[in-house]
Structure 1
Amino acid sequence: MKILDWYILKKFLVTFLFTLLILIPIAVAIDIAEKIDKFLHSDDLTFFQIVDEYYKNFIIYYANTFMPLALFISVIVFTSKLANNTEIVAMTSAKISFTRFLYPYFIGASIVTLLALTMNHYVVPNSSVVRKKFERTYFKKQKYADHVVLDFSLQLNDSTYIYIQNYDLRRNTGYNFSTETYQGLKLKRRLTANNINWIKKDSVFRLSNWKERIIFNKRDSIFFGNKLDTAFAFTPKDLMYKSAMAQEMTSDKLSNFIKLSKKRGVKNLNAYLVELYKRTSLPIASYFLTLIAVALAYKKRRGGTGVNIAIGITGMFIYVFFLKVSEVLGAVAGANSLLNIWMPNIIFGAVALFLYQNARK
């Protein structure tokens, strides 16, 4: 790399970090203003606990969220400054093409992308476990629907299915449980129980008022009793199919969860797929956003840096709008989650290519 490349790359990274360090305290200040009453009303909550369990992880989450915005604004700001100081004119006079000018920008974008990928796939999910546990404990009053699963069915393997009419995740108690085992299309065994309880220390389920029917070719055998301790290939955790859980899983665990859930016959996993795909698509957008920002700020404009920043922020909000719409559409049953999540990148990639062609001229 040449001295000029190091100069631009240094400006890129310093301005990016500076912008990020401006946005994070603003987010923290707004959050403190909203939650100060809840902090004060919790007698057993200490200042160290608030900082260590909540705001440390809050900053990790929002630093990762603000990365594309900070990147976009920082590139526009310092590229506009280069243009206003006629530094770009000097580079052009030295026969440095627009494509060559982008070289250090894309090195910087690659550094930010790798950081964002690591944050998205591993750091933020682990951080979210602590933050969300804190929020559930001190901020949210758990509703009935949050801990009770209704009409839940699950495929344990190729031949075994379970059904639970009602299961309370706090009490680990369920009602009207049944499991059926098939050989092809033919029912071979059916076990039902009025109540099912999870015995955590033994890792077994206790069935109350149970009845089992085993079907043979010419006769059936029926067994029943008051209590039966037995193991199944699932635990109460497998009953919690909520999209919020996806945010607390690292990508390898989330991928395994999706594969296992598909095998068990869970129909709509799009909310989990959206979360998984978003962790890659958003960091990759750093390249498109960098190219758009450079193309917008490459030439000196009447009105200076302010006009470029206004255009950039408007474009950034449009991107965020498209991203949120794509998340909602991608989570709908039957939708193509991968295509929906990557659609904002496809659209802005086309815009970046158009601006790049114009800037080259």
Structure 2
Amino acid sequence: MKIIDWYILKRFLVTFFFTLLILIPIAIAIDIAEKIDNFLENPDLGFYQVVDEYYKNFIIYYANTFMPLALFIAVILFTSKLSNNTEIIAITNAKVSFTRFLYPYFIGATLVTLLSLVMNHFVVPESSKVRKAFELEYIKKNRKNEMRFVTDFSLQLTDTTYIYIRNFNTESNSGYDFTSEVYDGLKLKSKLVSDNFRYNVKDSNFVLLNWRLRVIDNKKDSISSGSKIDTVFNFTPKDLIYKSALSQEMPSGELYDFIELSRKRGVKNLNTYLVEFHKRTSLPLASYILTIIAVALAFRKRRGGTGINLAIGIGMMFIYVFFLKISEVLGAVAGVNSLLYVWVPNILFGCIAIYLYLNARK
């Protein structure tokens, strides 16, 4: 790398982290103003616990969320400054092409992309578990009661076995109105019903209370019942909790395994989980697209200077976020290609980036 490359790369990274450090305290200040009453309502909640369990993970989440915005603003700011100081004119007079000029930008975008990928796939999900557990305990107490119970739950265990649960308490590992049905094609072969049941963690089995079993045969049906029976099923309470937990709390490996397991069990709509899984890769890779757009906008000196470039850039960034949110909602609808919808904002802005790149080369 040449001296000018190191100069641009250093300015790129310094401005990026400086912009990020400006945005995060603003988010913290707004959040404190909104939640200060909740903190004061809990006298046993100490300052260290709030910082360690909540705001440390709050910073991790929002630092990752603000990365594309901070990158975009940073590139526009220091590139506009290079342009206003006629430094870019000196670079172009030295026969440096626009493509060659982008090299240090792409190195910086690559570093940000790698950091964002690691954050999205591994760090943020683990951090979100702690932050959301804190929120359920001290801020969203009503939501905690909702998360405690799983209601009207159905699951396909194998190609022939289905279970239905009316209500299940994830804290006590107990529930009521349990049904297990075994089919041969469309024909019901057996049906097991239990008024109450609980999961035995020590033995990894289920205890069914007041159970009734009907086995259907072509010649003669048989019915048996009892007050208590121990049995084993191909699921655990963890599978029930997943249905009520947020996909953002699962690391990518765990999320992928859950999606594959759910597919085998015949769960029809997994697009909410697929959107989250694909977004963890598509959003970091958008750094390259946003970098090209930002450089192309700020490459030439404009009347109005940095202000007009920043206004155009922030406007485009909000449009990108708007398309991103729309694509997430549409991608979660059953029957659509979630991967395509997640990548639609990148495809659209990628076309804009190509147009601006070709125009800037001239």
> TM-score, length-normalised on structure 1?
0.96
Residues 207 and 229, structure 2, Cα contact 8 Å, conserved in 1: yes
Residues 150 and 244, structure 2, Cα contact 8 Å, conserved in 1: no
What secondary structure sits across from 1:181 in the alignment? strand
1:286 is the counterpart of 2:291? no
2:35 alignment counterpart? 35
1:252 is the counterpart of 2:258? no
Give the CA deviation at 1:252. 0.7
**C-alpha offsets along residues 196-220 of structure 1, whole Å, 9 cap, x if unaligned?**
2223333322211101123445333
What secondary structure sits across from 1:188 in the alignment? strand
Moved over 6 A (4+): none
Residues 243 and 272, structure 1, Cα contact 8 Å, conserved in 2: no
Q: Which moved more, 1:81-90 or 1:185-194?
A: 185-194
Distance 1:244 1:102, change over 3 A: farther
**C-alpha offsets along residues 246-280 of structure 1, whole Å, 9 cap, x if unaligned?**
11111010000001111111111111111001100
Give the CA deviation at 1:244. 4.9
Counterparts of 1:207-222 in structure 2, within 5 Å, are: 207-216=208-217, 218-222=219-223
2:97 alignment counterpart? 97
Amino acid at match of 2:26: I
Amino acid at match of 1:284: L
1:335 alignment counterpart? 336
1:107 is the counterpart of 2:102? no
1:60 is the counterpart of 2:65? no
Q: Which moved more, 1:30-39 or 1:196-205?
A: 196-205
Give the CA deviation at 1:245. 2.1
2:321 alignment counterpart? 320
Give ranges in structure 2 of 5+ residues lacking alignment.
none
Q: Which moved more, 1:298-307 or 1:332-341?
A: 332-341
Query: C-alpha separation between the residues in 2 aligned to 1:311 and 1:234?
Result: 53
1:305 is the counterpart of 2:306? yes
What secondary structure sits across from 2:128 in the alignment? helix
Residues 156 and 162, structure 1, Cα contact 8 Å, conserved in 2: yes
Q: Which moved more, 1:204-213 or 1:131-140?
A: 204-213
Residues 156 and 162, structure 2, Cα contact 8 Å, conserved in 1: yes
Give ranges in structure 1 of 5+ residues lacking alignment.
none
Q: Which moved more, 1:125-134 or 1:165-174?
A: 165-174
What secondary structure sits across from 1:190 in the alignment? strand
Give the CA deviation at 1:231. 1.8
Give the alignment's Cα RMSD to 1 decimal.
Answer: 1.5
Q: Which moved more, 1:169-178 or 1:290-299?
A: 169-178
Amino acid at match of 1:81: K
Counterparts of 1:39-188 in structure 2, within 5 Å, are: 39-143=39-143, 145-188=146-189
Query: C-alpha separation between the residues in 2 aligned to 1:167 and 1:281?
Result: 36
2:353 alignment counterpart? 352
Give the CA deviation at 1:242. 4.4
Residues 326 and 343, structure 1, Cα contact 8 Å, conserved in 2: yes
Query: C-alpha separation between the residues in 2 aligned to 1:128 and 1:245?
Result: 10
2:274 alignment counterpart? 273
Q: Which moved more, 1:50-59 or 1:145-154?
A: 145-154
What secondary structure sits across from 2:272 in the alignment? helix
Distance 1:193 1:243, change over 3 A: closer
Amino acid at match of 2:113: T
Distance 1:138 1:118, change over 3 A: same
2:236 alignment counterpart? 235
Residues 243 and 271, structure 1, Cα contact 8 Å, conserved in 2: no
What secondary structure sits across from 1:234 in the alignment? coil
Q: Which moved more, 1:150-159 or 1:22-31?
A: 150-159
Percent identity over the alignment?
A: 70
Give the CA deviation at 1:125. 0.4
Residues 125 and 248, structure 2, Cα contact 8 Å, conserved in 1: yes
Residues 166 and 176, structure 1, Cα contact 8 Å, conserved in 2: yes
What secondary structure sits across from 2:141 in the alignment? coil
> TM-score, length-normalised on structure 2?
0.96
**C-alpha offsets along residues 263-317 of structure 1, whole Å, 9 cap, x if unaligned?**
1111111111110011001001000000000000000011111111111111111
